Structure formats: C-alpha cells, structure tokens
Structure 1
Amino acid sequence: MTEATAQTRTQYRQRHLPSRRPTVSGTAAASLTLAARGLLKVRHNPFLLFDVVALPVVLTAMFAGIFGGAIAGSVGNYLPDLVPGVLVQVAVTATVNTGVQLCDDVDRGVFDRFRSMPIARIAPLIGALTADVVRYVVAAVMVVVVGLVMGYRPDSWPGLLLGCLLVIYTAFALSWVFAFLGVRMPSAPAVQGASMFVLMPMTFVSNALVPTAHMPSWIKWLADINPVSHLVTAVRQLANEGTLGVDILWSLVGATLIMLVMAPIAVRAYIRKT
C-alpha cells in the first residue's frame, strides 16, 4: 500500500507540478532579465559608463592633437588611422568590466541568492556578458561620433558598420577571459590590476596609434603579431577602403577560438565558485 501511494504521488508530481529543470527558452529569458539588471546598475552608478562614454572622447581628442601633425601632417589626415585604432582600444579595454563586476557580485553573495531561484545556474553569467555587449555598442558609437565631429569621413559606411560589429564580436569573445579571471581572482582590484597588466602592452604595442615601420625591430615584431594590430588593420580596411582583407579572417578566427576555449572554462569555474 505504501509503495502504491508513493508511485501515485510520483506520477502526480510528474503530471501536475512544473519541472525545475531549466529549458533553453527559460534560460534565455532569465539571462535577458539579468542582463537588464546589469544595465540598471548604471542608474545608481553612472561612473560605470566612464570607460565607454568619456574615454573615447578623451583618447580621440588627445591622440589626434598629440600625434596628428607628427605622423600624418594634420589631424584630418590622421583620423582615418586613429578612429579605428581608438575604437579597438576602447572596446578591448572595456572588457575588463566583465571580470570586475563578476568578482564584485561573487564577493557580495549576489550569486548565492540567484542559486536559490528556479533559473539555470549559467543564466547570471550569460546575463552579465550580454549586458556588457551594450557597453561595447555605446563605446563604438561614441568613438565614431567623436571622429565625425572632428572631421573623419569613412570611405565606406557599410564597411565602418561591419568593422564596428567585428570589434563588438571580438570584445564579447575576449570578455570570457575576464569572466574567468573575475570568478577565480580574490578581489575586483586584483582583476583590474591583472587585466591592465595584459591589456596595456596589447593595446599600445600595436599599430593602433602609430605605424610600426619606425619601431625598433623587436617591438615591431611584437606589434606585427599582436592580435590587436590585425583587428585594427581589419577595421581600417573595411572603413577606409571598403575591402575584405586577410586580417578580417584572422580576427574572426582568433575571436572564435578564444570564445570556444574560454567559454567552457569560465562556465566551469563559475559553477564551481557559486
């Protein structure tokens, strides 16, 4: 009798009670909701947008004034090279925010509260990375707008749009690296310090701001193999020439490989941590 009662209860639960196993659609909906939560943080702390709103203005104006006359003879002649370089530099640097915010949320126990909710455990992580895509879009728009105000005119508007999409895709792929660091490192300042230690050489030892031809041979070699240089060259070819060069392929393949390798590692580390 007891066994029959247990069977009846099990059948009732299976038929009438909702399953706690998350579905793909449920995970997607939860991820978007948590992405919106991430964007709402800006209302309480507008300084979170400093690196994607103010920094593009400062860097574009500053580098144009410093390097424009020395490298290209005038600011106007320098802008076709500078705008793609700053676009890549700002977007790549903005990916650090993913790791910093994740580490801060882990320290404050935010993910412990999410774990008690009937959502997929991966949803908060995907939501955080999705929210940061909006930041990359804002960064790209700001760089282009500042460039246009200063006199930049791309030869190919569709090419410029494709270049912006390529940069955003690459930044999203790179954000998985910093998501992993955000989960594994002990504090948000540690994440920021380690990230800058890697990103500063990558963004400055490249062709983003100056040509590599007159660099010392060993620095030129590093700049030429730097993935940032390939990405900058790809955006310049798209925006200023409207052509699809081999650097676009290298950038796409590199970003995809980073995401394929780092996404599973970051997810595994996140699940273990939370």
Structure 2
Amino acid sequence: MRVSGFSRVSPRGGTATMPLRNTATLAWRTLVQIKHNPFELIDFSIQPIMFLLLFTYVFGGAMAGSPAEYLTFALPGIIVQNLMFATMNTGIGLNTDITKGVFDRLRSLPISRFSPLAGRITADVVKQAWAIALLLVIGMILGFRIETGPAAALAAVGLLLVFAVALAWTSVLVAMLVSSPEKVQIFGFVLYFPITMASGAFVDPATMPGWLQAFAEVNPTTLLADAVRGLLSGGPVAGPVTWSLVWSAGLLLIFAPLSVRAFRRRV
C-alpha cells in the first residue's frame, strides 16, 4: 500500500497509528541530535539565561528602581522573546534537512509523508518547554515568585506552547521558500527583533510615543507577555489570554495551510 507518496507500509501494526509513531520517532531523532551537537543547547539554555541576567542586572535599576522589581515585570517578557526567536529553529532545522538530502532519504522509508514535518515541530515544542521551565527556575533563584499558584503557572506554560506551535508555522513557510538555513535565520531576526522590542515585553507601552504605543498595545508580544504576567504574578488575565489565543488561531489558520502547500511542492 502507498501512503502519501512514500514507500510501502509494513502491515504489522496497521496504518491507523503509523503517523503518530513516525512523528514520535522523528521527534526523538531530532532531540537525540543534541547529544551529538551540544551547541544546539545554546539557543534553548545558555542564551535565555544570558538575556535574563543582562536585562535584570543591567536595566533593572534604571527601569524599575531595582533588579528585583524589574525581574517581576521583565521575566514574562524575556520568556516570550526567547520563545519567538526559538521558533525559527523549526524552520532552520527543516531547511537544513532538506538541503542536506535528509528528506530524500526519508522519502524512501515506509513512513507517513508529513511525519518529518510533524516530528520537527514536536521536538521543538519539547525544547521550548525546556527553555520556559529553565527561565522560570533561574528567575525564581534570582528572586521571582509565582503569586497565583500551580494551576495558573501551568496555564501560562500551556498558553506559551500553544503560541509557539502557531508561530512556528511562519518559520516553516519561510524554510520551504528559501534556499538556505541562513536565510531563515536572517528572516527571523529582521522580523522578530523589532516586534519584540517595540512591545510591552520589557517596558510599559504608556512610556512610548503615541504612534508606537498604539502598535505596542496590539502587538502579540505585548498581549502574550501581559497574559503570562497575569497568570504568574496576578493582574488582568481574561483579555490578554483571549487575544493571545486569537493571535495563535490566526497564525495557525493562515500559515499552516500555506506551509503544508509549500511543503508538498518542495518535497
């Protein structure tokens, strides 16, 4: 039997759960690569900690009067910023696999057509969860405290991962359209750097010029950071969470179909 343009599927175990098993196997393949390439941990471990320490101790006194006060405000924003930049790793990894011929080898295997794509996204969600947990732990060591309880904290992590999955499809689309991983990285920096900085992730939008304040208030970075602040430290939750989910749904509905179409054409 032919499945999605790949080779024959072994009858053992049937085909009902085959895509899930293929996705899990390829996700594990991506995660195991970290053992052979420890530098991958930089994006998900060392870099987030570096940003957290720099923002807290370099800008904390000027922004909030003390690093401890600024940490309470900035940690959710730093988590969101790191999440947005880390989503580009999905596209970079996919483009690398395509340009190096990994997808050509996978095409000859009896696996579901879209499992390499799903496996990469699944593995990067695991990496995102690791980075979020790491930043929260380091933040608590530095003095950050979760004021709302475990359920709200888990809701914050869940919301972050939902947004990460939705945003990752933008990098998947770029990965299918450009010729090298470097171009995916350049796209991510050019797009996400101004979006994260021109937001309420690190400062109160009320301190910005009027035209920039209007942009910051509807910026998904601001909305997600405010939602995480509310879920971790208290404050408004319903509005920021709702708009963060709306942004997630919009990104998913727009970029997932475009990415799948581009994926079909390329591989």
User: TM-score if structure 1 supplies the norm length?
Assistant: 0.90
**Structure 1 residue 18 displacement after superposition:** 5.5
Aligned equivalents of 1:107 and 1:119: distance in 2?
20
- What 5-or-longer segments of structure 2 have no aligned partner? 1-8
- Is the 2:10–2:110 Cα contact (8 Å) retained in structure 1? no
Corresponding pairs, count: 257
Match of 1:6 in 2: none
Match of 1:10 in 2: none
Match of 1:261 in 2: 254
Residue 91 (str. 1) matches residue 115 (str. 2): no
Residue 220 (str. 1) matches residue 217 (str. 2): no
Match of 1:149 in 2: 141
User: TM-score if structure 2 supplies the norm length?
Assistant: 0.92
Residue 174 (str. 1) matches residue 174 (str. 2): no
- What 5-or-longer segments of structure 1 have no aligned partner? 1-16
Matched position secondary structure for 1:46 = coil
AA of the residue aligned to 2:41: L
Aligned equivalents of 1:195 and 1:254: distance in 2?
18
Aligned equivalents of 1:242 and 1:207: distance in 2?
15
Match of 1:204 in 2: 197
Cα pair distance change 1:204/1:24, threshold 3 Å: farther
- Is the 2:24–2:119 Cα contact (8 Å) retained in structure 1? yes
| CA displacement 1:140-178 (0-9 Å, x = unmatched) | 011101111111112113322211211111011111110
For the pair shown, the structure with the greater C-alpha radius of gyration is 1
Aligned equivalents of 2:160 and 2:237: distance in 1?
15
- Is the 1:122–1:271 Cα contact (8 Å) retained in structure 2? no
Cα pair distance change 1:209/1:202, threshold 3 Å: same
- Is the 2:56–2:70 Cα contact (8 Å) retained in structure 1? yes
User: How high is the sequence identity, in percent, across the aligned residues?
Assistant: 37
- Is the 1:159–1:242 Cα contact (8 Å) retained in structure 2? no
Match of 1:161 among 154, 163, 167: 154
- Is the 1:80–1:154 Cα contact (8 Å) retained in structure 2? no
RMSD across aligned C-alpha pairs, in angstroms? 1.7
1:228-239 equivalence runs, <5 A? 228-239=221-232
**Structure 1 residue 19 displacement after superposition:** 6.2
Residue 46 (str. 1) matches residue 38 (str. 2): yes
Runs of 4+ in 1 over 6 A off after TM superposition: none
